[in-house]
């Protein structure tokens, strides 16, 4: 379903969020206080306006409270990021996602009601490190401190085996959610489905169980 998004702050992060949402077919309002940034995003957004995120009247006149999500991607200017977030929540925006610069910024954002706080550089660093240290890990999503979803490459060891034979849940305590084979993805695997070498297994579980499956099961 088509959703309405607004992105405030068009640095590298905000720009890439904006372009991707637009590419996915959503309505995106792009906002920055620098004219040049706004001009650059015009072909990749539904509307683009020059406005200051800390200007309450400007936010109101844009009808900001009607958007499904507002993403605050103001970086270095932590004070503006916090004030913008506060105004958005006071104006009644239901979902405000904010890019945090550091731990203290995050704590303030939590206190003023930001709905989700992201650390793009930190998150990407973790994913890269996970990927680089294990050739079997293709991608990695941290769900909490303990639980993750990982994409693991199926090796020769499991090739030709069905999910019943692998018995991953009983042996390792984690669950195979899907199997990717080339461009195809099986999102509802049944016990008789077989795994082939170089399939990508999408697995959810506790990080210790996932590690055991990666080390011993594959």
Residue 194 binds ligand ATP, judged by CB under 6 A: no
| Residue recorded with tokens 């303030």 | 108
Site for ligand ATP in 105-144 (CB under 6 A): none
| Residue recorded with tokens 């610069």 | 101
- Dist. CA 2–CA 184, nearest whole Å: 25
Residue 78 binds ligand ATP, judged by CB under 6 A: no
Q: Which stretch binds ligand ATP (CB under 6 A): 2-10, 18-26, 58-66, 197-205?
A: 2-10
Structure-token pair, residue 176: 């195979």
Residue 173 binds ligand ATP, judged by CB under 6 A: no
Query: In this chain, which of 5, 7, 28, 53 binds ligand ATP, going by CB under 6 A?
Result: 53
Closest residue to ligand ATP: CB criterion: 75
Backbone torsions φ then ψ of 148, nearest 5 degrees: -145, 165
Is the CB of 54 or the CB of 148 nearer to ligand ATP?
54
Q: Which stretch binds ligand ATP (CB under 6 A): 29-37, 106-114, 136-144, 182-190?
A: 29-37
Residue 36 binds ligand ATP, judged by CB under 6 A: no
- Dist. CA 131–CA 159, nearest whole Å: 22
Residue 48 binds ligand ATP, judged by CB under 6 A: no
Least distance from C-beta 102 to ligand ATP, angstroms? Answer: 11
Least distance from C-beta 115 to ligand ATP, angstroms? Answer: 19
Backbone torsions φ then ψ of 21, nearest 5 degrees: -60, -40
Query: In this chain, which of 6, 7, 10, 64 binds ligand ATP, going by CB under 6 A?
Result: 10
Query: H helices of the chain, where?
Result: 12-23, 35-41, 56-61, 78-90, 103-111, 120-133, 163-166, 168-172, 207-212
Least distance from C-beta 16 to ligand ATP, angstroms? Answer: 8
Structure-token pair, residue 199: 């399939």
- Going across the sheet that includes 175-181, the strands are 137-142, 147-153, 200-206, 175-181, 184-186
Residue 7 binds ligand ATP, judged by CB under 6 A: no
Residue 186, classed as helix, strand or coil, is strand
Residue 18 binds ligand ATP, judged by CB under 6 A: no
Q: 150 vs 10, 140, 177, 198, CA distance in Å?
A: 30, 4, 10, 15
| List of residues contacting ligand ATP (CB under 6 A) | 8-14, 31-34, 37, 52-54, 74-77, 80
């Amino acid at each position: 379903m088509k959703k309405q998004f607004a992105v405030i702050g068009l640095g590298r992060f905000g720009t890439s969020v904006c372009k991707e949402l637009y590419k996915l077919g959503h309505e995106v309002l792009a906002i920055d206080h620098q004219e040049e940034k706004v001009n650059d995003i015009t072909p990749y957004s539904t509307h683009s306006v020059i406005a200051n995120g800390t200007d309450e009247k400007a936010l109101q006149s844009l009808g900001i409270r009607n958007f499904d999500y507002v993403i605050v991607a103001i970086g270095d200017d932590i004070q503006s990021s916090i004030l913008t977030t506060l105004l958005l929540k006071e104006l009644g925006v239901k979902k405000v996602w904010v890019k945090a610069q550091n731990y203290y910024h995050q704590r303030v954002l939590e206190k003023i009601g930001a709905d989700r706080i992201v650390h793009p550089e930190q998150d990407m660093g973790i994913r890269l490190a996970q990927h680089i240290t294990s050739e079997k890990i293709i991608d990695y999503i941290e769900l909490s401190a303990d639980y993750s979803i990982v994409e693991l490459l199926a090796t020769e060891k499991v090739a030709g085996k069905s999910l019943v034979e692998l018995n991953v849940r009983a042996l390792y305590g984690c669950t195979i959610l899907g199997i990717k084979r080339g461009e195809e993805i099986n999102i509802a695997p049944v016990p008789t489905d077989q795994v082939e070498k170089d399939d990508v297994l999408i697995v959810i579980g506790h990080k210790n169980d996932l590690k055991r499956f990666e080390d011993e099961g594959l």
